[in-house]
Structure 1
Amino acid sequence: MLHFSRWKTTLIWLVILAGVLFAFPNLLTQQQLAQLPDWFPKRQLTLGLDLQGGSHILLEVDREDIEKERLETTVDDMRRLLREDGIGYTGLSGNGRVAQVTIRNPEDIDAAKDALSELTQLVNAGLMSGGSIQEAVMSEPEPGRITLTMTEEGLENRVASAASQSIEVIRRRIDELGTTEPIIQRQGADRILVQVPGFDDPERLKDLLNQVAKLTFHLVDSSMSAEEAVNGRPPATAEIVYSNDDPPIPYLLERRILVSGENLVDAQAGFDQRTNEPIVTFRFDTKGAQRFGQVTQRNVGRLFAVVLDGAVITAPRINEPILGGSGQISGNFTVQSANDLAVLLRAGALPAKLTILQESSVGPSLGADSIAAGETAGLIGAILVIAFMFLAYGFLGIIANLALIFNVVLIIALLTVIGATLTLPGIAGIVLTVGMAVDSNVLIYERIREERRGGRSLIQAIDAGFSRAFNTILDANITTLIAAVILFYLGSGPVRGFAVTLAIGIVTTVFTAFTVTRWMIAEWVRRKKPKALPRAWISDMFGESRIGFMWLRKITFIFTALALIASMVLFIKPGLNYGIDFTGGSIVQVKADLGQVDVGDIRARLSELNLGNIQVQEYGGGNDQAMIRVQSQDAGANAEQSAVAKVRADLETDYTIEFVEVISPTVSGELAWAGTIAVIASLFAILIYIWFRFEWQFAIGAIVATLNDVILTIGVLVLAGIDFNLSSIAALLTIVGYSLNDTVVVYDRVRENLRRYKKMPLPDLLDLSVNQMLSRTTLTSITTLMALLALYIFGGEVIRSFTFAMIFGVVVGTYSSIFIAAPILILFKLRPENFQRDIGAEDPETGSKGSAQGIA
């Protein structure tokens, strides 16, 4: 295995070179990138909103709005069709999804059905939906009364169509803001994800996204005053519409829309030359200009109302015909509100209202702090791991460190090439990979040293070490990869970013361990022709340990059982402190503009807003930040946004809003379910894999040990009072992968020894196996803990709870692989005779080939 042909060597270093080329642009500024030649890769990693600031908003098409508008359209169409055919009717109305009408003359019923059948014809549902659908079904529940009922598939098609149209309108609106690289994606049939990096005014963004911007022009009904209409009964052809003033002013408007915003071709903010007040000027297309001119020419002297989203903006008097196809809208505008209205009108109206289900807004200063914290944590973690590996293995540690550097370069390069978004949990994934990446090299080195102690020559020991470590490394990393893949498919947002970096790190780790590390060692052997392995100071401390772990199993079982019972009791009462990911609600992080944050003052001010339970606590290392948590509101779809708006308005005079996260109860329920399914699915998938690779006793033992780690970690989270959120799910799944990685490594050695020592008592064999892997287990745990401790201390407050769970998980995972996973094989009466040597397999002790069929 130590021979590398020229083409293999070339291929390995071409991969490394490509990794360096694609990762290098991330070290340069945009100005430096522009100076590079055209052939040089210039793509950089996209930073997540938690690193560069910006807004993440999940919108949902309002199905009730679609249903209401569809019902109104159906009623209007029924009126039009019956009038065109001269059919007398009464009781034309709509309710819910049903529109109904009563035909006066029984002889006209068939004619009415023929006329209304136009509304029940099949319509094209689009190429993606496949075929046509029927939007309404006609029926006659009683003689003379005809009903049209909207179908579910018809409404679904309308909702999907509205989502597609909304994406284009949103894109035009955001492009008008001049932001760079916004992400606008459809999620499911009726949801739209909007991410705008670097935008520092999330309230303005929400206002732009949340307005339908439906502009209509109506004549003011002069048959009676608005006050009389409010107190009495308005005419059937008119309705009361209020302005946005405070207090709102009522207007009696004719229902008929004379001109609509669909005919606008341009809208610009400007100033009135007479009053110097901000206004919005608009211009119609030819059809709109002609219609607008006709309306103003026929109604000189009357009031002409401009209505935006059901509210009167202004209602000026028509003093003379407006024939040029342009006009202006005046009102109580500021410069920004006039600009925003012009943006909305130019972009066009949304087909339906959009509800904000989830929001996450990060200030640019907080994003910069997160980048600095992530870089510091990564650098310190890398230095600690590199220094430790050198002390552990000497010159071989230097080779492992070079492989580790190439590993990180390849991770960055692959993330850049696939266009992944690097988030703070993603950085955590890279730092964790740095800690775990040395595991493969540790396994190889320890195996080489073991083969050397067994009497093999140096070259034979190196060759056997790589060969025999391969299956162990593969099994151990596949279990972690399974957890990462399931986390990606069932997770969302930053959790998926963590899963991507972890999965890529696993792949690059296996590649660097079995190509780069092996090539460098092969070159060292070929050039230096060493007679012995380099001195390994720390690794030599373990020697050939003979600790009686199985003798302690009864004590450790009792201790573990008590700890599990305590954790489950804590889970019931006081229970997990669920974050807003699972309960819904809002989190607002503020920073005092001057001096220290006054938690008592904030709590007193917000308690007057009638928002229910509000928790306020100091946040971060200093005394100038506070975290505010507002309970989920039960007052409708936009109640969470209203609550955050009240908090902002009350605090923004004295505090800077650093971070806002809002999750509606609808989304929180989905996230809770997805997180639970992710944990269960990963455990089940890993159970199947281990069962397939080993025996059922190993699978049960691995799952029991992993459940032990998960339950104990949850118990610690309860004790520490840490919020249980999506990051906690990511931590649990990573602990699952790490614990199984550790357990599988031990199990692999147990399986090997079962084939070698068929008459050795199982407790003695397990002790031997655990002791043989003790140096590897300890060294890997130490390096991983070093990286995690750097992340916990220097990585910032945002991921501190995540890394805390991971640190405990690594410790308890190491404990369970020794004191739970191995002893449980005795409990399930594992039989050595089930493990006979594979045909053609080399005997671990003699090096000869076996001839019996193996079961493995």
Structure 2
Amino acid sequence: MQFSPVRTVIIAIVSLLGILFALPSFLPENVRDSWPGFLPRQTVVLGLDLQGGSHLLLQVNESGIVSERLQSLRRDVRNTLANDNGIGNLIATDEATRTLTVELTDPTQKETARTAIAALQNTISNSLIAVGGVNELAFGETPDGKLTVTLTEEGVSERMSALVAQSIEVIRKRVDELGTTEPSIQRQGTNRVLVQVPGFGDSQRLKDIISRTARLTFHMVYPGMTAAQAEAQGLPAGTMVLPSQDGGSELLYEDVALGGESLVDAQPSYDSQRNIPVVSFKFDTRGAITFGQITGANVGKRFAIVLDNTVITAPVIQQPITGGSGQISGTFTTATANDLAVLLRAGALPASLDVVEERTVDASLGADSIQHGLTAGVVASVLVIAFMVIAYGLWGVFANVSLILNIILIFGALSMLGATLTLPGIAGIVLTIGMAVDANVLIYERMREEQRSGKSPIQAIQAGFERAWGTIIDSHLTQLIAAIVLYFLGSGPVQGFAVTLALGILTSLFTSYTVTSYQVHAWYRATRPKVLKIQHFRFIPDGTKIPFMKISRYVIAFSIVASVLSIGSAYFKGFNLGIDFVGGTAIVIQHDGGPADVGQVRELLDGLELGEVQVQGFGTPEDVLVRVQAQEGGQDADQVAVTKVRDALATENYTVRSTEAVSGTVSSELAWKGTMAVVIALVAILIYIWFRFEWQFALAAVTTTTHDVIMTIGLFSITGLEFNLTSIAAVLTLVGLSLNETVVVSDRVRENLRKHRKMPLPELIDLSINQTIVRTSLTQFTVFLALIPLVLFGGEVIRSFTIAMTFGCLVGMYSSIIVNGPILINFGLKSKTEEDKPTPKAADGASV
């Protein structure tokens, strides 16, 4: 009973650090600012769903990069051959094959031309320490003797990766110009950038600021011919036609006379003579000199200012402009002039970025989500704490102290790691509250068994902690595997759920064993009781002898029928898929003058020609969810649809609280990742249990869990609950919880196989289930005490998640108790007596 001083110090230090790191999240900012410098001030970072803001996932436009690079390469090839070597040529471009075909007017100069073009080879590398790089170009020849220059696949990939890195810096400058606080800008994969801006609710403006390329170039206008004439007669060499802002088009020289990279400043201003907003710009010294030379040499000619391949203005040069400054005028408002100045100051994006995922949450909806989460958390905590005291008395108090410390450590770890807390993350914490007492119940029930077997109180305490520890490790690690898979294959809020669940599992291992052990040992040294009075209440009395294996055939038949119905419903009826998986736009609106009229909303939207539009209630009577199918034309068309919905509903006092737009590309990726997450989790857990138990236990556990997954997925299909990313999180969490129960029973079966070597296997499995069913009923009840408040108070956003979790826990408890055993027998598990029997031999010595 001597508790190591080192362990005492470790508990004290960990508890103190947890409190210090968690406390700032619950204190006002002025109190945190007055703290001494050596104390932590970092708070838990709230996700956008809790504080409002905008989330954009941007993807580099590969076709745009290829098109632009081919255009640039075409100019380089033409200049190299014609200007530098005097070789006449005709160049054709094929964007599908990423190839330039060069036809020489004098075929005898082919080798000279080939050598000249080969000098354009470029190597690209994104690594600072890499030597060389990949070749961007491949050179060849067509069967009829024409030279070809092709962009290599590796070169395009490397260029895209490099452009993403450059884009992140430009985006950061642009967002900083907006004056927002704590934006998150990070790379995702090789060709995407994730931008999250808390507190910035105008997603359309943010998207315009971030995703516009803002490439400013200056070109001379081709004289003596209009764009229409050029398109009818054929473009002169080295020219191009670009649309103009006024709806027309202009014929320009391809060569860039001056680029926007020479700009050093851009500011919105006002032209008092014309009474219009303009943007004033200023060049650096080199740019000013070049600008002066161009305007001086082309007085009386037109000079076009081009922004993102659109001619903003093309005035006639009246006189040389030598001051290095000028104005851009167009159809600007004060706001758009200011935004353009922001873009020009931050610099042009090196590549076009497409918005493939967009989520916006109003601050008021975020506040509601926090309120829902806190309410569910407080109610769940009170219920679990009260139940543990009722069931275990003083021992319940020990468990509750560990539970409270567990919650503190979770918040402390979130603060220390700078992790983001989302609404599903709050659900993960609430779920941890229900699961955290599981280890304590395992320990306490083991103590009661050891005491009933005749051991003294001190022996029962020691055996309770020691023998329960292996089971606790197995059950927690299976849940941790599911959380890790969820983190790496999930995204956004789902990753937030995975983080809090994983942290809760790790902190629970520490508090439920080490901290509870410390309290129990301190209490024993102080009181020295003759008998341990641990449990005061239980659902199932001790010594039950329910014949589970005798009724198993009926249960298995029921499970088979239910599984077939679930699969059949999924196949024939399908699912109510969220936009995470099908693409489109989801808009949550709120009626300002009382309950919303769903029928009225549907009538207002019927004439907008947006394709399939679904309108349904969303939680409170005032809220309505509008789902619009993905529009033809991509994200720009989706944004137009959101604007149409907002304008149509504004007349009836409806305000938009959140929007969520997902492209078809992202939705198909999320569907694939979700499926793979479930499969990978099951395989990983199969390997772990196979390593820890016999193979029969591993296959039985995965078969039982697969049964639970099928039943839960069937619930989504049969009831029409929305199936989205959080549903995948629910299924994976269910995998962990179901295996938790299965592992506890399997661990007892394995122990009894060693203890009761002559007992028939069906009787041994019955004995094992009856020995653990008291613990199972108590732990499942505490999980339900945590889940029910989430269902009732957690809000509509995670409603399908919490309902699926609650149903899944019921199915998991049922399957681990009564389905897993028969599967073990069918997979060939044998008692030790059967294993020890010699294999009978035939007369000739062969085995029979």
Structure 2 equivalent of residue 149 of structure 1: 150
Secondary structure of 1:656's match?
strand
Deviation at 1:231, TM superposition (A): 6.5
- Give the Cα–Cα distance (whole angstroms) in 2 for the partners of residues 287 and 126 of structure 1: 31
Structure 2 equivalent of residue 847 of structure 1: none
Structure 2 equivalent of residue 559 of structure 1: 558
C-alpha contact (below 8 Å) 1:120/1:138 kept by paired residues:
no
Structure 1 equivalent of residue 843 of structure 2: none
- Give the Cα–Cα distance (whole angstroms) in 2 for the partners of residues 835 and 212 of structure 1: 74
AA aligned opposite 1:498: F
Structure 2 equivalent of residue 311 of structure 1: 310
Deviation at 1:206, TM superposition (A): 0.5
- Give the Cα–Cα distance (whole angstroms) in 2 for the partners of residues 584 and 224 of structure 1: 46
AA aligned opposite 1:590: I
Deviation at 1:486, TM superposition (A): 1.6
Deviation at 1:131, TM superposition (A): 2.4
- Give the Cα–Cα distance (whole angstroms) in 2 for the partners of residues 240 and 827 of structure 1: 75
Deviation at 1:89, TM superposition (A): 1.5
Secondary structure of 2:532's match?
coil
Quickly say closer, same or farther: Cα 1:755–1:91, change in 2 above 3 A: same
Quickly say closer, same or farther: Cα 1:760–1:239, change in 2 above 3 A: closer
AA aligned opposite 2:206: L
C-alpha contact (below 8 Å) 1:12/1:516 kept by paired residues:
yes
Matched, 1:783 2:762: no
C-alpha contact (below 8 Å) 2:219/2:254 kept by paired residues:
yes
Deviation at 1:305, TM superposition (A): 2.8
Matched positions, count: 833
Deviation at 1:692, TM superposition (A): 2.2
- Give the Cα–Cα distance (whole angstroms) in 1 for the partners of residues 728 and 408 of structure 2: 28
Matched, 1:630 2:619: no
Write the deviation string for residues 78-133 of structure 1: whole angstroms up to 9, x where unpaired: 11111233423132232221112222223322222222221135555643665222
Quickly say closer, same or farther: Cα 1:274–1:122, change in 2 above 3 A: closer
Quickly say closer, same or farther: Cα 1:503–1:235, change in 2 above 3 A: same
AA aligned opposite 2:187: R
Of the structure 1 ranges 674-683 and 296-305, higher mean CA displacement relative to structure 2 is found in 296-305
Secondary structure of 1:575's match?
coil
TM-score (structure 2 length as normaliser)? 0.94
AA aligned opposite 2:141: E
Of the structure 1 ranges 530-539 and 345-354, higher mean CA displacement relative to structure 2 is found in 530-539
- Give the Cα–Cα distance (whole angstroms) in 2 for the partners of residues 530 and 272 of structure 1: 91
Deviation at 1:217, TM superposition (A): 2.2
Structure 2 equivalent of residue 101 of structure 1: 102
Quickly say closer, same or farther: Cα 1:822–1:159, change in 2 above 3 A: same
C-alpha contact (below 8 Å) 1:640/1:664 kept by paired residues:
no
Matched, 1:36 2:53: no
Secondary structure of 1:798's match?
helix
* Structure 2: unaligned runs, 5 residues or longer: 837-848
AA aligned opposite 2:324: G
- Give the Cα–Cα distance (whole angstroms) in 1 for the partners of residues 772 and 143 of structure 2: 83
C-alpha contact (below 8 Å) 1:213/1:349 kept by paired residues:
yes
C-alpha contact (below 8 Å) 2:760/2:831 kept by paired residues:
no
Structure 1 equivalent of residue 345 of structure 2: 346
C-alpha contact (below 8 Å) 2:583/2:661 kept by paired residues:
yes
Structure 2 equivalent of residue 68 of structure 1: 67
C-alpha contact (below 8 Å) 2:758/2:833 kept by paired residues:
no
- Give the Cα–Cα distance (whole angstroms) in 1 for the partners of residues 561 and 386 of structure 2: 39
Quickly say closer, same or farther: Cα 1:141–1:224, change in 2 above 3 A: closer
C-alpha contact (below 8 Å) 2:612/2:629 kept by paired residues:
yes
- Give the Cα–Cα distance (whole angstroms) in 2 for the partners of residues 698 and 220 of structure 1: 78
Of the structure 1 ranges 812-821 and 108-117, higher mean CA displacement relative to structure 2 is found in 108-117
Quickly say closer, same or farther: Cα 1:294–1:598, change in 2 above 3 A: farther
Deviation at 1:268, TM superposition (A): 0.9
C-alpha contact (below 8 Å) 1:90/1:101 kept by paired residues:
yes
Structure 1 equivalent of residue 721 of structure 2: 722
AA aligned opposite 1:346: R
Deviation at 1:754, TM superposition (A): 1.9
TM-score (structure 1 length as normaliser)? 0.93
Structure 2 equivalent of residue 287 of structure 1: 286
Deviation at 1:415, TM superposition (A): 1.6
- Give the Cα–Cα distance (whole angstroms) in 2 for the partners of residues 419 and 287 of structure 1: 45
Matched ranges for 1:130-149 at <5 A: 130-142=131-143, 145-149=146-150
Quickly say closer, same or farther: Cα 1:637–1:115, change in 2 above 3 A: farther
C-alpha contact (below 8 Å) 1:404/1:437 kept by paired residues:
yes
Structure 2 equivalent of residue 811 of structure 1: 810
Matched ranges for 1:151-166 at <5 A: 151-166=152-167
Secondary structure of 1:172's match?
helix
Matched ranges for 1:813-852 at <5 A: 813-833=812-832
AA aligned opposite 1:627: L
- Give the Cα–Cα distance (whole angstroms) in 2 for the partners of residues 829 and 109 of structure 1: 76
Matched, 1:484 2:483: yes
Quickly say closer, same or farther: Cα 1:322–1:793, change in 2 above 3 A: same
- Give the Cα–Cα distance (whole angstroms) in 1 for the partners of residues 542 and 111 of structure 2: 98
- Give the Cα–Cα distance (whole angstroms) in 2 for the partners of residues 571 and 342 of structure 1: 53
Structure 2 equivalent of residue 850 of structure 1: none
Secondary structure of 1:196's match?
strand
Matched, 1:18 2:2: no
Deviation at 1:691, TM superposition (A): 2.1
Secondary structure of 1:823's match?
helix
Of the structure 1 ranges 644-653 and 445-454, higher mean CA displacement relative to structure 2 is found in 644-653
Matched ranges for 1:436-455 at <5 A: 436-455=435-454
Of the structure 1 ranges 766-775 and 437-446, higher mean CA displacement relative to structure 2 is found in 766-775
Deviation at 1:633, TM superposition (A): 3.7
Matched, 1:514 2:548: no
Secondary structure of 2:430's match?
helix
Secondary structure of 2:796's match?
coil
Secondary structure of 2:128's match?
coil
Structure 2 equivalent of residue 199 of structure 1: 200
Structure 2 equivalent of residue 608 of structure 1: 607
Secondary structure of 1:199's match?
coil
Quickly say closer, same or farther: Cα 1:231–1:94, change in 2 above 3 A: closer
Of the structure 1 ranges 414-423 and 91-100, higher mean CA displacement relative to structure 2 is found in 91-100
Structure 1 equivalent of residue 117 of structure 2: 116
- Give the Cα–Cα distance (whole angstroms) in 1 for the partners of residues 539 and 803 of structure 2: 31
* Structure 1: unaligned runs, 5 residues or longer: 838-856
Deviation at 1:596, TM superposition (A): 3.9
- Give the Cα–Cα distance (whole angstroms) in 2 for the partners of residues 682 and 563 of structure 1: 23
AA aligned opposite 1:632: A
AA aligned opposite 1:630: V
C-alpha contact (below 8 Å) 1:237/1:255 kept by paired residues:
yes
- Give the Cα–Cα distance (whole angstroms) in 2 for the partners of residues 119 and 3 of structure 1: 78
Structure 2 equivalent of residue 257 of structure 1: 256
AA aligned opposite 2:655: T
- Give the Cα–Cα distance (whole angstroms) in 1 for the partners of residues 184 and 116 of structure 2: 46
- Give the Cα–Cα distance (whole angstroms) in 2 for the partners of residues 748 and 144 of structure 1: 75
Structure 1 equivalent of residue 427 of structure 2: 428
Structure 1 equivalent of residue 191 of structure 2: 190
C-alpha contact (below 8 Å) 1:104/1:144 kept by paired residues:
no
Deviation at 1:694, TM superposition (A): 1.9
C-alpha contact (below 8 Å) 2:757/2:833 kept by paired residues:
no
Quickly say closer, same or farther: Cα 1:24–1:184, change in 2 above 3 A: same
Deviation at 1:418, TM superposition (A): 1.6
Deviation at 1:376, TM superposition (A): 1.0
Using the aligned pairs only, state the percent identity: 51
C-alpha contact (below 8 Å) 1:754/1:835 kept by paired residues:
no
C-alpha contact (below 8 Å) 2:52/2:362 kept by paired residues:
yes
Deviation at 1:65, TM superposition (A): 0.8
Quickly say closer, same or farther: Cα 1:638–1:129, change in 2 above 3 A: farther
AA aligned opposite 1:204: R
Deviation at 1:770, TM superposition (A): 1.4
Secondary structure of 2:797's match?
coil
Deviation at 1:733, TM superposition (A): 0.8
Deviation at 1:220, TM superposition (A): 3.8
Structure 1 equivalent of residue 757 of structure 2: 758
C-alpha contact (below 8 Å) 2:539/2:778 kept by paired residues:
no
Of the structure 1 ranges 738-747 and 596-605, higher mean CA displacement relative to structure 2 is found in 596-605
Matched ranges for 1:306-455 at <5 A: 306-455=305-454
Quickly say closer, same or farther: Cα 1:351–1:645, change in 2 above 3 A: farther
Matched ranges for 1:523-672 at <5 A: 523-534=522-533, 536-539=535-538, 542-622=541-621, 624-635=622-633, 639-652=637-650, 654-672=653-671
- Give the Cα–Cα distance (whole angstroms) in 2 for the partners of residues 113 and 415 of structure 1: 61
Structure 1 equivalent of residue 846 of structure 2: none
